[in-house]
Every structure is written in structure tokens, then in C-alpha cells.
């Protein structure tokens, strides 16, 4: 890392923090995100029961409405599902799966997209046009269709869902990184680095990449939200995660089977949690865009 | 210009060829349709007979060549489940999906435009803040959950609208449509609203930005100077200007609505192509899955091609870049 990158990096964190605090809505959304992440990480400690340990769930407690007391004296604040599983615990574990899949997919897409975008920007020519044609093509198709095709081809599973999401999302990062990198490589510091005889790949990764971070952070946040929502949708359609790894989407899907019979809590609460999660990540992303966009932050 | 169009058409054909190969290979890697089609006690001779009648006994490359040559003639094989030509099954279901999608587009304009105008007129106001936050909510609401809540509220609690199915259809001017009967119309409302939600949010954002960019322009000032009412300026002069990009975007979104109809149709048991594809994936009905994907991909490539060509006609700078 050069001193330029460090200076930029140091300046960015206080800038983001100040900008976040400047908007009560964004501050609240950020706190909600933080709480949800902590809840997901520490789910096994917070959850009243381990919802996937058959010794801990009682079939006699099945389909209890919220706030009812079970056989073993435990109060189910959000009710139980068809097998007597505590919904609150199941939701915490579901949140864990949803977040893990969404964040993994988002980060992998960022790595792949950034690498492709930088490659396109510094090699130019044929490599650039092939990569960018492919990006255009990917962005021309809706997420759900491409993910559907990949899952049809490769079958179900956590790894396949992540693969499908990465395949769908890398193009957004590639386009943004390439555009920023092209602007940056025309600036004087890049010129100076070239004059010093620093190899092209080093200039790209050590000098230009740090300056591509602002758009990357914004897109990364929004893509994590969209990855979480997309995974939930695929799981709801029955072509996403397997039943052994219940994400929020799968919980909602299971609850949907009995929703019309009036057992609303099995699908409404996981859905609300999913909504709060995606909504607050999107609000934070929207605010980040305002903070980091030099044209908007006047 | 001709070179540009020719290049784009060639690219489109290449993409289609690659998609067909990937989908064909992928679909053949999952499951064995014989397991599903035949009873568990079928003899080896019966298996061989069925496999031969469906050409499942040939080597893969030969199967692919057969598949491509007949696909080019519009023959995607017979559906294993319906025992009818796959393309016929899809085209039979397509009108229901198209009806849903067009209704959603109309809904997104009818609801999105006024809200966007309202927010755009008073930038920074409470109205603006709440409409814009609402539109983020519209983007964030997972489509399927939002549909379930619509059913929950309007069908289960209020009992106003039916929850699933298409209801009665009738014939108007030779078109088989839900609009012909009251029952069909009320069945259409919830699914169309569900599908339209994200588009409504999109139209709100586009309209608001459009209004804010157009209001300071000279022609608006001139209209004011002529003494036209604020309402007439907004609804006639400004709206006319901002409608062009909105309609363009909605045109492009048409394709993605057809793709998203998969979710809506699954929730509302709407008998369109989206529900068909999910059912077919679950029943390993290969010909229908392959035909659906290729039909939709072809449609997308055509939409993108038309948009590209139109843009390059309108903006000569694009031609030189491509």
C-alpha cells in the first residue's frame, strides 16, 4: 500500500461515520443491521432452543400461536411451527443461513467482478471488449432467470445457490470498477507511477484499486441485500437451499403451506425479519451512495 | 449501420447457441425421467422401449444435434408429463402470463406516476421523504412475501378478493381474457399488484428525478410566464417530456416482468408459463424446461437487440463505440 492509498483509506471511515450520523434514518438502519448481524453470529447462545436438535423440540407443542406456553413450561413468544419448533429460535438460525449465503455471495461477486473490471481496464483492446460484452449480456437478463437457469443446470445446494448469485452479480462490480479505473488511470498519480516504471498490474492493484473503493462499497452493500432477497426467493420456489439448511426464505415457504388455514405466524414473522434485514441494508446502501458520491455530497 | 446490426444479430445467434448447449447438457445431467415416467415394477424391456421412443438411448452429441435441428423447426420434443409438443404447452400458457404482465405495467404507471409527480413537486418535503422511503420499501419487499401478505390481507382477513387461480375467462374481440368477466377481473388484481410492486417503485423514482430535472428548464418558465396554471404545466408540459424515458425503461422491463412472473404465478397459482416452469423442474419434464428457457432467452435477446438498434438509430455515438 502506498501512502496515497493510506491517506484515502483513513479519510473514508470518519467521512462515512459522519455522514451516517447526519441522517437519523440511516443511523437507525445501521444499528438494526448491526443488531441483526450480532444476533445471527450469536444465534446458538441467544436462541431459547436449538431448533434442529430433535431432543429439544416437542411434537405436542406443534402449531402453538405466539405467546403460548408449551408442555415443558417454555413460553414461545412467536409461536411454534408444524413440528413444535420455537419460531423465534428457527428464525435466528434462518437469519444466520440467509446472512451467511448473502454475504458470501456478495463478497465473492465483488472479488470476481473487481478482478474482471481491473483486467478489462488495464489490458484494454480485445480482452476489454469481450469482458464488457459479456457484462452487458449479463445485465440484460433478470437475476431470477439467470439464477433459475444455473440451478436447473447444476441442481440444488448451498454452493450452487452461491455460485448462481455470484454469476448473476459480478457484472455490476465489473462495470463500476472498470469505469472508475479508466478515469483513475488517466490521473497524474497513475501517470507518475508509470513513469517510475512500476509494472502495470502493481499500479492497478496498489494505486488505482484503493481509489475504486467508494463505488465498490456502495454496490457491495446493495448487492448483499439483493443476494439475500434472491436466495430467499429461490428457496421459496423450492429450487434454492435444501431443506436441511433452512434460511428465512425456506421458513416462509414452509409457513405458506398453512397460512391460508389461519396459522399466520409461521410465515409472517420470518417474512418481517427478512424485510427488516433487506430494507435496512438498502437504506444504509442508499445513504452510503449519498456520502461517497462527490456529485451529491456538496 | 448495416455492419452494426449484422454484428449484433451474429452475437445474438452465438449467445443463443451457447445457451442451448449449456441448458441441454445441464438439464441432461439432472435426474432420470424414466424413474418418474415408469412404475417401479417396470421390466427392463419396457424401460428400453420407452427410452427408445423418447430417443434417450442415443449418445449425447447425437441427441444434441437432433435437438438443435428439430428445435430450429419449432419442435422441442414432447412433454414427458403432458405427452404433447413442449412448445405447444408453453404457447398455450403464454397468454395468461402476458395478460398478467401487461396489467402490471399499466398498474405501475397508474400508481407510480402520480406518486412520483407528487414527490418531485416538493423536493425535500415530508411527502417526498415518505414517498422515496416507500419506494425503497417497494424494492426491498421480497416479491413472494409481499404476495403472501396481499393474500393474507385481502383474501383471508378482509375477504374482498380471491387468493388463487385465474377465475372465469371470456372472449372479447377474439381474445381469450380475464377482462371479459368480473370473476376473471377480480382474480387478476392481486397477482398484477404483486408483480407491479417493484415497477411502481421504479416509476416513482424515475418520475421524481424527471420532474426535478425538468422544472427549472426554460420552457417551464415560459409556460409560467404565459400564465398557464401550475397543474396544466405539470400534467401536460412536464409529463409529456418525462414520459419518454419512463416508457422506454418500462419497455425494457417487460422482459424481466415475464421472468419475475415465475414467483407471482407460483404464489397465486396463476396458470401461466412461470408456474409451468417450476412444475416442470420439479417433475423433471426436460423438453418443457429446455423449451421454456430457450423461448424466454430468445425473447430477451430480441428485446435487447431491438433496443440496441433503436438507440443506435437515435444516437450515432453508440455505433462508433460498438
Residues 17-76 of B with CB under 8 A from A: 19, 22-23, 25-27, 29-30
Report the CATH fold assignment for A104-298: MetI-like fold (1.10.3720)
Copy the grid coordinates of residue B77. 420434443
What pLDDT is stored for residue A105 in this prediction?
A: 93
- Least CA distance to A263: which residue of chain B? B152
- Which ranges in B173-217 belong to alpha helices (H)? 182-214
Per-residue confidence (pLDDT) for residue A6, from 0 to 100: 45
CA distance to partner chain B, nearest, from residue A260 (Å): 7
Compute CA distances A283 → A95, A231, A289, A294, B132, whole Å.
Answer: 19, 20, 10, 19, 11
**Of B99 and A57, more confident:** B99
Which CATH number characterizes residue B148's domain?
1.10.3720.10
Higher pLDDT, B121 or A115: A115
Give strand ranges (E) for chain B.
170-172, 175-177
Lowest mean pLDDT among A160-174, A265-279, B71-85, B206-220: B71-85
**pLDDT attached to residue A174:** 92
Contact A29, A22 (CB under 8 A): no
Q: What is the reported pTM? A: 0.80
Mean pLDDT for A164-170 is 90
Q: How many domains does chain B have?
A: 1
Q: What is the pLDDT of residue B172?
A: 63
| Interface with B, mutate which of A137, A148, A155 (most B CBs under 10 A) | A148
CB atoms within 10 A of CB A135: 21
Q: How far apart are CA B305 and CA B8, in angstroms?
A: 7
What domain range includes position B231? 87-282
**Record: contact B152-A264, CB cut-off 8 A:** yes
Whether B82 is covered by a domain: the verdict is: no
Residue A138's alpha-carbon distances to A15, A146, B21, B297, in angstroms, are 34, 8, 17, 12
The distance of B279 to chain A (nearest Cα, Å) reads: 10
A142/B255 CB distance under 8 A: yes
Q: What is the rounded CA–CA span in Å between residue A155 and residue B29? A: 9
* B211: in domain: yes
Hey, are the CB atoms on A25 and B133 less than 8 Å from each other?
yes
Encode pLDDT of B27-53 as tens digits.
665 556 666 667 777 777 877 887 777
pLDDT value of residue A18: 78
Nearest-CA distance A268 → chain B (Å): 8
Indicate yes or no: CB of A142 within 8 angstroms of CB of B30.
no
Q: Please identify every stretch of chain B with a pLDDT value under 50, giving residue numbers as ranges.
A: 322
Is A225 within 8 Å of B304 when comparing Cβ atoms?
A: no
Among chain A residues, CA nearest to B139: A279
Q: Point out which residues pair with A86 in neighbouring strands.
A: A80
Write the Ramachandran bin of B173: left for phi over 0, alpha for psi from -120 to 50, otherwise beta.
Answer: left
In this structure, is residue B269 part of a structural domain? yes
Task: Out of A89-98, A111-120, B26-35, B277-286, pick the least confident.
Answer: B26-35
**What number is the ipTM of this complex?**
0.72
Q: Residue B163: closest CA among chain A residues belongs to which residue?
A: A260
Number of H helices, E strands in chain B: 14, 2
Residue B128 in domain: yes
Q: What residues of B are in contact with residue A271 (Cβ under 8 Å)?
A: 142, 145, 148-149
Contact between A11 and A255 under an 8 Å Cβ cutoff? The reply is no
- The distance of B145 to chain A (nearest Cα, Å) reads 6
Region class of B136: left (phi > 0), else alpha (psi between -120 and 50), else beta: alpha
Chain A CB within 8 Å of residue B156 CB: yes
Three-state secondary structure along chain A?
A: CCHHHHHHHHHHHHHHHHHHHCCHHHHHHHHHHHHHHHHHHCHHHHCCCCCCCCCCCCHHHCCCCCCEECCCCCEECCCECCCCCEHHHHHHHHHHHHHHHHHHHHHHHHHHHHHHHHHHHHHCHHHHHHHHHHHHHHHHCCHHHHHHHHHHHHCCCHHHHHHHHHHHHHHHHHHHHHHHHHHHHCCHHHHHHHHCCCCHHHHHHHHHHHHHHHHHHHHHHHHHHHHHHHHHHHHHCCCCCCCCCCCHHHHHHHHHHHHCCCCCHHHHHHHHHHHHHHHHHHHHHHHHHHHHCCCCCC
Cα nearest neighbour of B278 on chain A: A237
pLDDT of the residue at B308:
75
- Asked whether residue B207 is domain-assigned, the answer is yes
3-state secondary structure of B171: strand
pLDDT of residue B58: 74
Between A230-234, A262-266, B78-82, B175-179, the lowest mean confidence (pLDDT) is in B175-179
User: Chain B residue closest to A222 (CA)?
Assistant: B140
Model confidence band, residue A237 (pLDDT cutoffs 50, 70, 90): confident
Three-state DSSP state, B283: coil
Q: According to the model, what pLDDT value does residue A162 have?
A: 92
Greater pLDDT, A280 or A259: A280
Range with the poorest average pLDDT among A176-190, A255-269, B100-114: A255-269
Contact B27 A152 (CB under 8 A): yes
- List chain A domain ranges: 104-298
Give the distance from residue A271's alpha carbon to the nearest chain B alpha carbon, in angstroms.
6
Q: CA-CA distance, B184 to B171, in Å (whole number)?
A: 11
Whether B313 is in a domain gets the answer no
Amino acid at each position: 500500500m502506498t501512502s496515497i492509498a493510506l491517506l484515502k483509506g483513513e479519510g473514508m471511515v470518519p467521512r462515512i461515520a459522519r455522514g451516517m450520523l447526519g441522517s437519523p434514518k440511516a443511523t437507525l438502519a445501521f444499528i438494526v443491521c448491526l443488531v441483526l448481524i450480532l444476533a445471527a453470529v450469536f444465534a446458538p447462545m441467544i436462541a431459547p432452543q436449538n431448533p434442529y436438535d430433535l431432543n429439544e423440540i416437542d411434537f405436542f407443542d406443534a402449531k402453538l400461536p405466539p405467546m403460548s406456553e408449551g408442555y415443558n413450561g417454555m413460553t414461545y413468544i412467536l409461536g411454534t411451527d408444524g413440528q413444535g419448533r420455537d419460531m423465534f429460535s428457527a428464525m435466528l438460525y434462518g437469519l444466520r443461513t440467509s446472512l451467511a449465503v448473502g454475504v458470501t455471495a456478495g463478497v465473492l461477486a465483488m472479488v470476481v467482478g473487481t478482478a474482471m473490471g481491473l483486467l478489462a481496464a488495464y489490458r484494454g483492446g480485445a480482452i476489454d471488449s469481450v469482458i464488457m460484452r459479456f457484462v452487458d449480456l449479463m445485465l440484460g437478463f433478470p437475476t431470477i432467470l439467470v439464477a433459475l437457469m444455473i440451478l436447473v443446470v447444476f441442481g440444488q445446494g448451498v454452493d450452487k445457490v452461491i455460485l448462481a448469485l455470484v454469476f448473476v452479480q459480478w457484472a455490476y462490480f465489473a462495470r463500476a470498477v472498470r469505469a472508475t479505473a479508466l478515469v483513475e488511470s488517466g490521473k497524474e498519480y497513475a501517470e507518475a507511477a508509470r513513469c517510475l516504471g512500476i509494472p502495470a498490474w502493481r499500479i492497478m492493484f496498489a494505486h488505482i484499486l484503493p481509489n475504486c473503493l467508494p463505488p465498490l462499497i456502495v454496490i457491495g452493500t446493495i448487492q448483499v441485500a439483493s443476494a439475500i432477497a434472491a436466495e430467499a426467493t429461490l428457496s421459496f420456489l423450492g429450487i434454492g437451499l435444501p431443506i436441511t439448511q433452512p434460511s428465512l426464505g425456506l421458513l416462509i415457504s414452509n409457513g405458506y403451506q398453512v397460512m391460508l388455514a389461519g396459522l399466520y405466524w409461521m410465515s409472517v414473522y420470518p417474512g418481517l425479519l427478512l424485510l427488516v434485514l433487506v430494507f435496512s441494508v438498502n437504506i444504509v446502501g442508499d445513504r452510503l451512495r449519498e456520502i461517497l458520491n462527490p456529485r451529491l455530497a456538496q | 449501420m448495416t455492419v452494426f446490426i449484422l454484428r449484433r444479430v451474429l452475437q445474438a445467434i452465438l449467445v443463443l447457441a451457447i445457451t442451448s448447449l449449456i441448458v441441454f447438457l445441464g438439464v441432461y445431467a439432472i435426474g432420470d425421467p424414466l424413474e418418474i415416467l415408469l412404475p417401479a415394477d417396470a421390466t427392463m424391456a419396457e424401460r428400453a422401449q420407452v427410452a427408445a421412443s423418447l430417443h434417450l438411448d442415443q449418445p449425447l452429441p447425437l441427441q444434441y444435434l437432433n435437438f438443435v435441428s428439430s428445435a430450429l423447426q419449432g419442435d422441442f420434443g414432447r412433454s414427458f408429463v403432458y405427452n404433447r409438443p413442449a412448445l405447444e404447452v408453453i404457447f398455450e400458457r403464454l397468454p395468461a402470463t402476458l395478460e398478467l404482465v401487461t396489467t402490471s405495467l399499466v398498474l405501475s404507471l397508474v400508481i407510480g406516476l402520480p406518486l412520483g409527480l407528487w414527490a418531485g413537486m416538493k423536493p425535500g418535503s415530508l411527502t417526498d421523504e415518505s414517498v422515496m422511503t416507500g419506494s425503497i420499501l417497494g424494492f426491498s419487499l421480497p416479491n413472494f412475501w409481499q404476495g403472501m401478505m396481499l393474500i393474507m390481507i385481502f383474501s383471508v382477513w378482509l375477504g374482498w378478493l380471491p387468493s388463487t387461480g385465474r377465475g372465469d375467462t371470456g372472449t372479447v374481440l377474439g381474445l381469450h381474457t380475464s377482462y371479459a368477466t368480473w370473476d376473471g377481473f377480480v382474480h387478476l388484481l392481486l397477482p398484477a399488484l404483486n408483480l407491479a410492486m417493484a415497477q411502481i417503485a421504479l416509476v416513482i423514482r424515475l418520475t421524481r428525478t424527471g420532474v426535478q430535472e425538468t422544472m427549472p428548464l426554460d420552457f417551464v418558465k415560459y409556460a409560467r410566464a404565459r400564465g398557464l396554471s401550475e397543474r396544466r404545466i405539470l400534467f401536460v408540459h412536464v409529463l409529456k417530456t418525462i414520459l419518454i424515458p419512463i416508457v422506454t425503461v418500462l419497455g425494457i422491463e417487460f422482459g424481466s416482468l415475464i421472468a419475475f412472473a415465475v414467483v407471482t404465478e407460483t404464489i397465486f397459482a396463476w396458470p401461466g408459463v412461470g408456474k409451468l416452469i417450476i412444475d416442470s423442474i420439479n417433475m423433471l419434464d426436460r423438453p418443457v424446461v429446455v423449451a421454456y428457457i430457450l423461448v424466454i432467452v430468445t425473447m430477451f435477446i430480441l428485446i435487447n437487440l431491438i433496443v440496441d438498434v433503436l438507440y443506435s438509430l437515435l444516437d450515432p455515438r453508440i455505433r462508433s463505440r460498438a
